[in-house]
Amino acid sequence: MPIHPQYWQPAFKPGVPATYGIHGRYVLCVGTIEPRKNLRRLVKAMALLENEEAARGVTLVIIGQQGWDAGFRDFLSQQDAAAVKVLGFVPGDHLPSLYHYASAVICPSLYEGFGLPVMEAMCCSSVVLAADTSSLPEVLGAGGILFDPRRIEAIAAALLRTLSMSPEEAALYRMRCRRRAEAHLDRLEREPLLPGLPPEPAKGSALDIPAGPWLV
Taking only the tens place, the pLDDT of each residue in 4-31 is 999 999 999 999 999 999 999 999 999 9
- Do residues 101 and 16 lie in contact, with contact meaning Cβ atoms separated by under 8 Å? yes
Mean pLDDT value across the chain: 89
Judged by average pLDDT, the poorest of 2-11, 29-38, 64-73, 109-118 is 64-73
Q: How many CA atoms lie within 13 A of 3 on its CB side?
A: 28
**CB-CB neighbours of 4 under 10 Å:** 15
Q: Does 108 have pLDDT greater than 50?
A: yes
| Residues 174, 177: Cα–Cα separation, whole Å | 5
Whether the CB-CB separation of 130 and 106 falls below 8 Å is answered with: yes
pLDDT at 200: 54
Residue-wise pLDDT for 65-76, tens only, equals 888 888 888 888
Q: Is the dihedral of CA 134, 140, 142, 147 positive or negative?
A: negative
Q: In the predicted model, what is the mean pLDDT of residues 90-118?
A: 97
What's the length of the chain?
216
E-only strand ranges, the chain:
26-30, 59-63, 84-88, 104-107, 128-131, 145-147
* 120 pLDDT above the threshold of 70: yes
Mean pLDDT along residues 115-143: 96
Q: 81 falls in which pLDDT band (50, 70, 90)?
A: low
Q: Which CATH superfamily is domain 9-215 in?
A: Glycogen Phosphorylase B; (3.40.50.2000)
* Euclidean distance between CA atoms 82 and 201, whole angstroms: 41
